[in-house]
């Protein structure tokens, strides 16, 4: 088993628990002990794309951790919680309900390279301890701002149900185009972000930028690296594999995690040298990162091409 299972992780399941579930299902399917790892932690309160690598694909987990991600998330205005999510204690409130126009006006501030302060309830280590462990003990946690990149940020449209209770605004008033109106209780946005971006912090900062406070009530990852929800399977479908369902229904090949890198066809001599970890010279290709494949289209290694030479970055034992 050398490849990927892309799980549509449900709310309530941790990433480590998801890896454990894959290991269990592989045992039930009679595959024995399989090396398993995940390509990017997904909070238990979040759902969506969780790439799980098996066998030689675990060598690509580092690349997957560094990959950009896309999230849908809903900001609830008026209350900020300690964890910036639906489970934390309320730490601030506001009567301000922003207009859609006001929100649209601040979104460009949060697009591109930005600085953000991670939530106190996060897995970042401070003096060797997880920030969330310190926060749960009631200790003051000072989180340092860090640079991240938001490639795109947009709202997914306004649900009439999100307009403040009792308000009878016209669409133009809700947008704020006619002035004086407002009353948006919540709004769902989509963000394409770099590694290390905290969506909960992004929601907090957007809410504060429009003069309110807020927290995340829904978080769903729709893409991680090259993998999307279209490739993801449910937990029920994963469990069915342990009961005899076809491997082809849940499993993607190792090279599915390499679609964003050009393939390089290797001669038998080059493939043999690279499998041994040797530098191969005399290759006429442009400089850059490639995944080399042999005459049977099997991945041999990630290779770096430079001035006509190929150097192994990560070899695959297939």
Here the tokens at position 156 are 């997914």
- The residues facing 224 across adjacent strands are 69, 227
Active-site option among 43, 85, 205, 294: 43
43 is catalytic: yes
How far apart are alpha carbons 101 and 142 in whole angstroms?
A: 33
Residues with Cβ within 8 Å of 17's Cβ and at least 6 positions away in sequence, in order, are none
* Pick from 291, 273, 290, 284: nearest CA to 309: 284
How far apart are alpha carbons 119 and 97 in whole angstroms?
A: 23
Here the tokens at position 5 are 């299972």
230-269: b (≥16 Cβ within 10 Å) or e: ebbbeeeebebbbeeeeeeebbbebbbbbeebeebebeee
What are the angstrom distances between the C-alpha of 312 and each of 43, 170, 175, 255, 267?
A: 34, 62, 55, 16, 15
* Helix 235-242 vs helix 15-28: crossing angle, to nearest 10: 30
Compute, in degrees rounded to 10, the torsion defined by CA atoms 42, 201, 172, 96: 130
- The residues facing 80 across adjacent strands are 92
The answer to whether residues 274 and 301 touch, using CB atoms and an 8 Å cutoff, is yes
How far apart are alpha carbons 250 and 40 in whole angstroms?
A: 19
To the nearest 5 percent, what fractions of the chain are helix, strand and coil?
30, 35, 40
Active-site positions read 43
């Amino acid at each position: 088993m050398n490849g990927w299972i892309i799980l549509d992780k449900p709310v309530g399941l941790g990433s480590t628990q998801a890896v454990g579930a894959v290991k269990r299902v592989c045992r039930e399917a009679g595959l024995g002990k399989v090396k398993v790892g995940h390509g990017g932690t997904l909070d238990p309160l979040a759902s969506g794309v969780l790439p799980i690598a098996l066998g030689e694909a675990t060598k690509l987990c580092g690349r997957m951790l560094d990959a950009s991600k896309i999230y849908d998330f809903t900001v609830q205005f008026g209350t900020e919680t300690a964890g910036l999510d639906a489970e934390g204690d309320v730490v601030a409130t506001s009567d301000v309900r922003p207009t859609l126009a006001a929100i649209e006006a601040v979104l460009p501030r949060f697009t591109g390279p930005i600085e953000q302060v991670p939530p106190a309830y996060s897995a970042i280590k401070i003096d060797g301890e997880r920030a969330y462990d310190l926060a749960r003990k009631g200790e003051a946690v000072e989180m340092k701002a860090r640079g991240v990149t938001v490639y795109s940020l947009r709202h997914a449209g306004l649900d009439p149900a999100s307009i403040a209770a009792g308000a009878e605004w016209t669409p133009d008033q809700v947008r704020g185009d006619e002035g004086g109106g407002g009353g948006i209780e919540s709004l769902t946005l989509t963000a394409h972000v770099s590694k290390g971006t905290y969506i909960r912090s992004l929601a907090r900062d957007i809410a504060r930028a429009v003069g309110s406070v807020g927290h995340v009530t829904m978080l769903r990852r729709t893409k991680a690296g090259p993998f999307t929800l279209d490739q993801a399977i449910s937990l029920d479908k994963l469990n069915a594999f342990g009961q005899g369902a076809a491997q082809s229904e849940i499993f993607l090949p190792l090279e599915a995690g390499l679609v964003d890198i050009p393939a390089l066809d290797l001669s038998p001599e080059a493939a043999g040298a690279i499998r041994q970890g040797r530098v191969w010279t005399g290759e006429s290709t442009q400089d850059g990162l490639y995944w080399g494949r042999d005459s049977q289209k099997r991945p041999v290694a990630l290779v770096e091409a430079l001035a006509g030479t190929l150097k192994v970055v990560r070899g695959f034992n297939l």
